[in-house]
Amino acid sequence: MLGLTRVNHIGLRVSDFETSRDFYAKLGFQYVTGPSGPEPVAIVEHPSGININFILNAAKPEDQDAKATNILMDIATKHTGYTHVALEVEDAELTIRQLAELGISLSAEPMTHPTGTSLFIRDPDNNVIEFIEYTGLKHLKS
């Protein structure tokens, strides 16, 4: 359909480039280029090929009304939009240990569901990142 081959990148609006770059570096993302362009963008990439474009035009936390709120996840009104990114991992338990070693805490208890086990964290701008040990959908089909 439409000749799609893969997801090229994730665009993530952030409030502070250095803080975001340093956080995502803990997860294995490497700085590539930027910031550059009229809406400044900086690019980081993981060895797996996952690419994130930091869009550097977000309001600084001190200028925001709700500093620690993710409007798509943390309020009662459910707005439309992307709520999180899910990154597949080989081993959920190992990922929990590695995150702890990095000083990154889970934002919720691990969750086992029909397609695997999911872990959730928040980045410095309160964006949700899911790590999923994916077991697949084959066993769900009748």
Model pLDDT for residues 90-107, shown as the tens digit of each residue: 999 999 999 999 999 999
Of 66, 61, 125, 118, which is closest to residue 88 (Cα–Cα)?
A: 118
The average confidence (pLDDT) of the chain is 87
Residues 6+ apart with CB under 8 A from 100: none
Query: Given a cut of 90, is residue 74 above it in pLDDT?
Result: no
Can you read off the two tokens belonging to residue 113? 């569901």
Peptide bond between residue 61 and the one before it cis (omega within 30 degrees of 0): no
φ, ψ for residue 17, nearest 5 deg: -60, -50
Report the pLDDT value the prediction gives residue 52, as an integer from 0 to 100.
96
Query: Given a cut of 90, is residue 117 above it in pLDDT?
Result: yes
Query: Given a cut of 60, is residue 65 above it in pLDDT?
Result: no
Average pLDDT rounded to a whole number, residues 50-64: 81
- Ranges 3-7, 57-61, 129-133: which has the least confidence: 57-61
Report the pLDDT value the prediction gives residue 71, as an integer from 0 to 100.
65
Measured in Å, how far apart are the chain's first and last C-alpha atoms? Answer: 25
d(CA 2, CA 12): 25
Model pLDDT for residues 11-53, shown as the tens digit of each residue: 999 989 999 999 999 999 999 999 999 989 999 999 999 999 9
Confidence (pTM)? 0.84
d(CA 3, CA 28): 30
Query: Given a cut of 90, is residue 6 above it in pLDDT?
Result: no
d(CA 104, CA 95): 11
Average pLDDT rounded to a whole number, residues 100-128: 94
Residues 6+ apart with CB under 8 A from 98: none
Are 70 and 26 in contact, with CB atoms under 8 Å apart? no
